[in-house]
A and B are shown apart, each in its own frame.
Chain A
Amino acid sequence: MATKQAPTRQAITLKGSTNLVTEFFKYAANTILFQRGVYPSDDFHMVKKYGQTVLVTQDLALENYLDRILSQVNKWLLTGSVTQLVLAIISKDSRVTLERWVFDVNLVEPPADSTTPSAPKPESEIQAEIRYILKQIVSTVTFLPIIDEPTVFNILAYTHESADVPADEWVDTDPLAIEASKSQQVKLRSFSTDVHRIEAMVAYRYEG
């Protein structure tokens, strides 16, 4: 195998990157659900993560639900078959999509000239990027329209057609898109590991 015993922190592997990205989705989803009031705020408690406090749900049912989804996302990330994750916030009564939080998952192509691998990205830098995204999600509350109706959320995964799908758990669905004429889009920051690059975007219904 490898002659050089490189410390694990130096080279981030696909698996490590996948776990990192999955974890990011977990906290991002929790942050969105809290900030947008999908679940009552007293369901959330503060945890230290990425060098800041993040609000994470205490609701066991929701926790398990997110875990089940993310474990599958984790598998897809490993095979590289997921290209986009969407958290849609939907009006509970009218089923109208109010917001779509889109996370594009791009695989970072290894440099064509495989002479020397570029210096791996330090984890602190990745964490800082993640922190910026989460902070940006929090700050979007300032411009997103106020949601004053009960809402539910849905998580969509855009996969390649060839992706392995556990059939009775995941179903094809409507993309829950917002009509282009009534939607505003704001691009958020992105972060990248050595393997993945996550680009975030929020689209929201804005009629005015």
Chain B
Amino acid sequence: MAIHAGAPRRSTLAPGDHAKLDDLRARLADLKDEPGATLEALYAAQAVFSYVPPEAVTMIAEELRLPESEVFGVLTFYTMFHRKPSAKYVLRVCRDLSCHISGAPAVLKALNDELGTRVSEVTEDGLFETESVSCLGLCDLQPAVMVNLEQHGPLDAEKARGLLADLRAREA
């Protein structure tokens, strides 16, 4: 089932990424016969490409024998899936009440200022992007930030800059 009938979706794959489709197919082999594994399949695609490109949606639909529209629907429902290339370090900054009244806005601003980016914009080196997200369940670490799945907090503007420095040091 095509999502936009008659108008093929434009590929977002970088030239070097086509070879990675084989990697995804191999990962999907384990999930093929597991009922309800769509989310895990999307996670697999994200692990390969850093996001879920249209080609991966098509492949997941074929391998899991699902309508493409259903796979696309699942992809767009859950906020942790990316539809454009994501950074190596995704910095999820909580915006909900406990973090908000504990200084989260200053943390988000410090990160964006330091990176020179806006929310959901990837830095040119591909390393960082910030996201402004719902409660992370880290309210005791208010204001809290998750770096991929790593827990950080409580932070303020200065500690947020320090966190970036640590992450950059890991890359050096």
A and B found bound together: no
Which residues in A have some Cβ–Cβ distance to B below 8 Å? none
Which residues in B have some Cβ–Cβ distance to A below 8 Å? none
